[in-house]
């Protein structure tokens, strides 16, 4: 019966407000964590898509080009350009470095000729020399600044949109030769070739990797991080269920006499069960709704970009319903086992 | 017309591991329109009997009929139906739901029974007006006096117009001013087609009653002369739960004082009384039932039963220095 549940919520509103506030915070953290997961999941696909390649050519047996040490001679680039069906073939050289000015952090190095495509430059121009870089999101520098890394000092000539990968690490775009100098001692090698078109044949010792394979390869590096995020999200849901469950259970203990009276006066079990479940669900759903704006606030303090989507909101509401239902189980059990004869106890 | 018929009612429960039977083959018949008072000391079983009448407690054996309904055989939906429509309960502690207003408390049984909100509200208002609380309809129990809460409880008990209303110590939590209002309403409840059973030890309610059922017989000052009884080995002098008016002295043989254990687990010998010893003094002193049984030991025994005056005359101040007073 709605009436008894709602009146009880009003009667004990302080404790339910506390439960809602704590649960909303926990749900908000869950939404923010989910947003980070969405970001990490989207990064590889966004990066691969930004090259507008139809496919990638890598050394045969390699799983992909962004995470591999397997290299190809850069002569394959010319061979591919001469292959019928190929509109363009651009070499890619990858590596890692650490920014040492300001906040120290790991960065990805990508040697690629941005004048011929790739991620969009939103400010400035593409690098023309080995000591020029374009920086992606996540590094707080402006065009014209100098950037010191463990691989040398560069002049920032442009900024590119997005381009994070390897768990949110920002990216420095260099010329191919610049990247070769840093990553492989200037050897004329490449990690792969971004190909537009459909080559009829492949140079010896190479194989195709589709965009999907390239994305899967990038995601492999964050597999453990994603599993950890899932586990932490599960923990937050359990904590939320615990908070709601504890409050509703305490209320059920206080209402033992009420339940005895309800049963003694012929109220069916569904009235008692439904009443407690409704209370749990109301707390969980209100908390879930409040969690969404709270997540927007929380993401300000998050070190990684947080992607909040409609799917996240729907997911947290569904989780709220499930958490609310589970949280009421202990209280429902207690209420159903209340002896109606207890109603005859003294005042 | 609904009558209440109780046949061979036995209720046994465990108290500290011992079997306690507040009712042992108890019989009672109540007529429609009666206001019945169950009188008795605390612990005599008044509330237990109300619990059985309300179908909140299943007796060990025996039957209770309210009209055509065998209350003791009800289960499931029929049990819920009886609790909704067959009986109205007025609790000692009022037991109103604190978060609901007076009107909502009265509405609850009707809403649970499937009445529409509009119908339940109209009936609740009518009942609250009947008990003089028309101006307290929107108040929560915490904002009402004990007497007002008890009147709301009366209105709730009548919500579905049950043929049986039971009230457990309805005046116990009230001061004398509040009792006045409640007593008048209780009297009005007993109308043709309805039986009202009230458990109480408040003798102010006696003038209300059409019938009084005393569950604790009053202590009777027995005037009989000393009574000599010869017992064969193992034969019983009195049983646990019996009423008793005599104190016994052992003249020959031994007497075993035994108490029955709960759940048919046998019995425990509390004491063996040798010649010159005495037992069974508390029951006649305080009008209690025998708390243990007494029987002859392995040999024939002879005991003499004395009324309290004669026993005190024989023992004098020694009576207060009893060794078996807690058990016999």
Does residue A28 belong to any structural domain of this protein? Answer: yes
B173 chain-A contacts, CB cut-off 8 A: 347
Same domain membership, residue A319 and residue A253: yes
Same domain membership, residue B166 and residue B32: yes
Tokens of residue A195, six digits: 């190909």
Does residue B221 belong to any structural domain of this protein? Answer: no
Confidence of residue B230 (pLDDT cuts 50, 70, 90): very high
Phi, then psi, of B105 in degrees rounded to 5: -60, -40
Same domain membership, residue B133 and residue B279: no
**Structural contact between residues A119 and A158, judged by C-beta atoms closer than 8 angstroms:** no
Contact B51 A11 (CB under 8 A): no
pTM: 0.71
Best A254, A256, A258, A265 residue to mutate vs chain B (most B CBs within 10 Å): A265
Residues β-bridged to residue B303: B229, B250
Contacts of B114 (CB under 8 A, 6+ apart): none
Residue of A nearest to B105 (CA): A4
Evaluate if residue B164 carries a pLDDT over 90: yes
Q: Is the dihedral of CA A256, A257, A258, A260 positive or negative?
A: positive
Q: Is B168 on the interface with A (CB under 8 A)?
A: yes
pLDDT at A92: 94
Contact B109 A267 (CB under 8 A): yes
Residues β-bridged to residue B289: B243
Best A15, A262, A266 residue to mutate vs chain B (most B CBs within 10 Å): A266
User: What is the secondary structure of B281-305 as a DSSP string?
Assistant: -HHHHHTPBPSSEEEE-SS-EEEEE
Contact A344 B51 (CB under 8 A): yes
Evaluate if residue B79 carries a pLDDT over 50: yes
Window from A216-220, B112-116, B260-264 with minimum mean pLDDT: B260-264
Q: Is A7 on the interface with B (CB under 8 A)?
A: yes
Contact B108 A262 (CB under 8 A): yes
Q: pLDDT digits over B26-54, tens only? A: 999 998 888 999 988 777 888 899 999 99
- How many Cβ pairs within 8 Å bridge chains A and B? 87
CA A317 to chain B, closest CA, distance in angstroms equals 28
Same domain membership, residue B94 and residue B55: yes
Does residue B210 belong to any structural domain of this protein? Answer: yes
Same domain membership, residue B119 and residue B55: yes
The last residue of one of the domains, among A176, A204, A232, is: A204
Window from A24-38, A263-277, B106-120, B174-188 with minimum mean pLDDT: B174-188
Tokens of residue B154, six digits: 């009366």
Of A3, A10, A345, the CB nearest to B93: A345
A258 chain-B contacts, CB cut-off 8 A: 97-98
Q: HSE-up of B302 (CA within 13 Å, CB side)?
A: 5
CA A9 to chain B, closest CA, distance in angstroms equals 9
Residues β-bridged to residue B259: B268
Does residue B16 belong to any structural domain of this protein? Answer: yes
Give Cα A259 distance to the centre of its chain: 45
Contact A340 B56 (CB under 8 A): yes
Same domain membership, residue A117 and residue A192: yes
Contact A265 B89 (CB under 8 A): yes
Same domain membership, residue B264 and residue B203: no
Does residue A19 belong to any structural domain of this protein? Answer: yes
pLDDT at B42: 78
According to DSSP, residue B84 is labeled I
The last residue of one of the domains, among B214, B237, B272, is: B214
pLDDT at A128: 92
Does residue B327 belong to any structural domain of this protein? Answer: no
B81 chain-A contacts, CB cut-off 8 A: 266
User: Can you give the residue range of the structural domain that contains A17?
Assistant: 2-42+224-344
The proportion of chain B whose per-residue pLDDT surpasses 70, expressed as a percent, equals 93
Tokens of residue A236, six digits: 């937050």
Same domain membership, residue A195 and residue A75: yes
Q: Is the dihedral of CA B312, B315, B321, B326 positive or negative?
A: negative
Give Cα B52 distance to the centre of its chain: 10
Does residue A212 belong to any structural domain of this protein? Answer: no
Does residue B196 belong to any structural domain of this protein? Answer: yes
Does residue A22 belong to any structural domain of this protein? Answer: yes
pLDDT at A347: 43
Alpha carbon separation from A249 to A26, A242, B95 (Å, rounded): 19, 10, 20
Q: Is B18 on the interface with A (CB under 8 A)?
A: no
The last residue of one of the domains, among B214, B241, B261, is: B214
Confidence of residue B326 (pLDDT cuts 50, 70, 90): very low
Number of structural domains (chain A) is 2
Same domain membership, residue B62 and residue B39: yes
Contact B99 A10 (CB under 8 A): yes
Contacts of A190 (CB under 8 A, 6+ apart): A71, A72, A73, A74, A76, A77, A91, A92, A93, A176, A180
Residue of B nearest to A344 (CA): B91
pLDDT at B325: 39
pLDDT at B140: 95
B112 chain-A contacts, CB cut-off 8 A: 1, 262, 265-268, 271
B111 chain-A contacts, CB cut-off 8 A: 1, 3
Contact B56 A4 (CB under 8 A): no
Phi, then psi, of A38 in degrees rounded to 5: -60, -40
Q: Is A343 on the interface with B (CB under 8 A)?
A: yes
Contact A264 B100 (CB under 8 A): no
How does strand A105-111 pair with strand B211-214?
A: unpaired
Residues β-bridged to residue A192: A92
pLDDT at B322: 42
- Taking phi over 0 as left and psi of -120 to 50 as alpha, with beta for the rest, A222 belongs to alpha
pLDDT at A1: 64
Does residue A137 belong to any structural domain of this protein? Answer: yes
A261 chain-B contacts, CB cut-off 8 A: 91, 95, 97
d(CA B285, CA B283): 6
Same domain membership, residue B63 and residue B200: yes
Nearest in space to B76 (alpha carbons), one of A260, A333, A269, A1: A269
Same domain membership, residue A33 and residue A107: no
**Structural contact between residues A138 and A164, judged by C-beta atoms closer than 8 angstroms:** yes
The proportion of chain B whose per-residue pLDDT surpasses 90, expressed as a percent, equals 45
Q: Is B103 on the interface with A (CB under 8 A)?
A: no
A341 chain-B contacts, CB cut-off 8 A: 51, 56-57
CATH no. for residue B45? Answer: 3.40.50.300
Does residue B219 belong to any structural domain of this protein? Answer: no
* Three-class secondary structure of residue B277 per DSSP: coil
Same domain membership, residue A337 and residue A266: yes
Residues β-bridged to residue B143: none
Same domain membership, residue A200 and residue A67: yes
Residue of B nearest to A8 (CA): B99
Q: Could you say which residues from 82 to 101 on chain B have a Cβ atom under 8 Å away from some Cβ of chain A?
A: 82-85, 89, 91-95, 97-100
Q: Is the dihedral of CA A166, A168, A225, A208 positive or negative?
A: negative
pLDDT in tens, chain A (347 residues): 678 888 988 999 998 999 899 989 988 888 888 888 888 888 899 989 988 899 999 999 887 888 777 889 989 999 999 999 899 999 999 998 998 877 788 999 999 998 887 888 999 999 999 999 999 988 888 999 999 988 889 999 999 988 888 888 999 999 999 999 888 888 999 999 999 998 888 898 999 889 999 999 889 888 888 899 889 988 888 888 888 888 888 888 888 888 888 888 888 888 888 888 888 888 888 988 898 889 888 888 887 788 888 887 788 888 888 888 888 888 888 888 888 888 877 54
Same domain membership, residue A119 and residue A157: yes
* Three-class secondary structure of residue B91 per DSSP: coil
Q: Could you say which residues from 320 to 339 on chain A have a Cβ atom under 8 Å away from some Cβ of chain B?
A: 339
pLDDT at A253: 86
Confidence of residue B282 (pLDDT cuts 50, 70, 90): confident
The last residue of one of the domains, among A204, A236, A251, is: A204
**Structural contact between residues B152 and B133, judged by C-beta atoms closer than 8 angstroms:** yes
CATH no. for residue B305? Answer: 2.60.120.10
Tokens of residue A187, six digits: 């050897």
d(CA B100, CA B124): 13
d(CA A66, CA A64): 6
Best B108, B171, B174, B178 residue to mutate vs chain A (most A CBs within 10 Å): B108
Same domain membership, residue B153 and residue B181: yes
CA A265 to chain B, closest CA, distance in angstroms equals 5
Q: Could you say which residues from 54 to 73 on chain B have a Cβ atom under 8 Å away from some Cβ of chain A?
A: 54, 56-57
Contact A347 B50 (CB under 8 A): no
d(CA B199, CA A3): 32
Same domain membership, residue A177 and residue A253: no
Contact A265 B108 (CB under 8 A): yes
d(CA A283, CA B273): 67
User: What is the secondary structure of A39-78 as a DSSP string?
Assistant: HHHHHHHHHHHHTT-SEEEEETT-S-SSS----EETHHHH
Q: Is A220 on the interface with B (CB under 8 A)?
A: no
Same domain membership, residue B114 and residue B14: yes
Number of structural domains (chain B) is 2
Evaluate if residue B136 carries a pLDDT over 80: yes
Ordered strands of the B164-168 beta sheet? B87-90, B164-168, B195-200, B35-39, B211-214
Q: Is A265 on the interface with B (CB under 8 A)?
A: yes
Give the number of other CB atoms < 10 A from CB of residue B75: 9
Same domain membership, residue B146 and residue B291: no
pLDDT at A5: 86
Overall average pLDDT of the B214-231 stretch? 80
Same domain membership, residue A91 and residue A168: yes
Same domain membership, residue A98 and residue A29: no
User: Can you give the residue range of the structural domain that contains B158?
Assistant: 4-214
Confidence of residue B195 (pLDDT cuts 50, 70, 90): very high
pLDDT higher for B241 or A131? A131
Contact B56 A341 (CB under 8 A): yes
Same domain membership, residue B59 and residue B20: yes
Same domain membership, residue B90 and residue B46: yes
Does residue B87 belong to any structural domain of this protein? Answer: yes
């Amino acid at each position: 019966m709605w009436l008894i549940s709602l009146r009880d919520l009003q009667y004990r509103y302080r404790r339910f407000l506390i439960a809602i506030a704590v649960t909303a915070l926990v749900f908000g953290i869950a939404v923010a964590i989910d947003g980070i997961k969405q970001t990490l999941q989207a990064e590889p696909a966004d990066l691969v898509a930004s090259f507008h390649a139809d496919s990638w050519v890598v050394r045969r047996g390699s799983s992909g080009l962004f995470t591999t040490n397997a290299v190809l001679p850069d002569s394959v680039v010319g061979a591919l350009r001469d292959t019928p069906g190929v509109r363009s073939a651009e070499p890619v050289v990858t590596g890692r470095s650490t920014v040492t000015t300001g906040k120290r952090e790991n960065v990805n190095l990508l040697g690629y000729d941005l004048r011929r495509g790739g991620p969009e430059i939103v400010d400035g121009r593409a690098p023309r020399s080995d000591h020029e870089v374009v920086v992606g999101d996540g590094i707080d520098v402006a065009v014209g600044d100098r950037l010191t890394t463990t691989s040398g000092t560069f002049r920032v000539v442009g900024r590119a949109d997005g381009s994070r990968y390897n768990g949110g690490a920002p990216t420095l775009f260099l010329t191919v030769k610049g990247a070769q100098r840093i990553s492989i001692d200037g050897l004329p090698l490449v990690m792969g070739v971004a190909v537009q078109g459909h080559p009829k044949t492949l140079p010896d010792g190479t194989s195709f990797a589709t965009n999907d394979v390239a994305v899967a390869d990038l995601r492999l590096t964050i597999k453990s991080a994603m599993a950890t995020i899932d586990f932490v999200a599960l923990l937050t849901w359990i904590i939320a269920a615990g908070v709601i469950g504890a409050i509703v259970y305490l209320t059920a203990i206080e209402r033992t006499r009420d339940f005895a009276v309800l049963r003694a006066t012929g109220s069916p079990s569904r009235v008692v069960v439904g009443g407690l479940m409704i209370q749990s669900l109301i707390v969980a759903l209100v908390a879930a709704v409040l969690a969404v704006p709270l997540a927007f606030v929380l993401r300000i303090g998050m070190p990684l970009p947080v992607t909040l989507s409609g799917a996240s909101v729907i997911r947290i509401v569904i989780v709220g319903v499930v958490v609310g239902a589970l949280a009421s189980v202990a209280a429902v059990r207690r209420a159903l086992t209340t002896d109606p004869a207890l109603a005859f106890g003294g005042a | 017309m609904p009558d209440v018929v109780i046949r061979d009612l036995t209720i046994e429960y465990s108290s500290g591991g011992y079997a306690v039977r507040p009712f042992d083959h108890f019989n009672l018949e109540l007529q429609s329109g009666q206001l019945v008072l169950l009188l008795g000391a605390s612990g005599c079983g008044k509330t237990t009997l109300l619990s059985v009448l309300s179908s909140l407690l299943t007796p060990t054996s025996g039957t209770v009929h309210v009209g055509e309904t065998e209350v003791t055989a009800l289960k499931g939906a029929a049990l819920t139906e009886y609790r909704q429509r067959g009986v109205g309960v007025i609790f000692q502690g009022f037991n109103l739901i604190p978060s609901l207003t007076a009107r909502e408390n009265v509405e609850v049984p009707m809403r649970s029974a499937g009445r529409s909100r509009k119908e339940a509200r109209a009936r609740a208002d009518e009942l609250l007006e009947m008990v003089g609380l028309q101006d307290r309809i929107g108040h929560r129990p915490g904002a009402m006096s004990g007497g007002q809460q008890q009147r709301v409880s009366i209105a709730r008990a009548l919500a579905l117009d049950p043929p049986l209303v039971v009230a457990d110590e309805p005046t116990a939590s009230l001061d004398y001013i509040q009792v006045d209002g409640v007593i008048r309403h209780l009297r009005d409840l007993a109308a043709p087609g309805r039986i009202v059973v009230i458990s109480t030890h408040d003798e102010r309610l006696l003038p209300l009653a059409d019938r009084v059922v005393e569950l604790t017989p009053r202590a009777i000052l027995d005037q009989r002369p000393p009574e000599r009884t010869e017992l064969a080995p193992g034969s019983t002098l009195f049983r646990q739960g019996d009423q008793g008016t005599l104190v016994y002295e052992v003249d020959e043989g031994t007497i075993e004082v035994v108490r029955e254990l709960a759940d048919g687990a046998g019995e425990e010998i509390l004491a063996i009384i040798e010649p010159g010893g005495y037992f069974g003094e508390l029951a006649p002193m305080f009008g209690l039932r025998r708390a243990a049984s007494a029987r002859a030991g392995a040999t024939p025994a002879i005991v003499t039963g004395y009324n309290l005056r004669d026993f005190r005359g024989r023992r004098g101040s020694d009576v207060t220095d009893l060794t078996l007073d807690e058990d016999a």
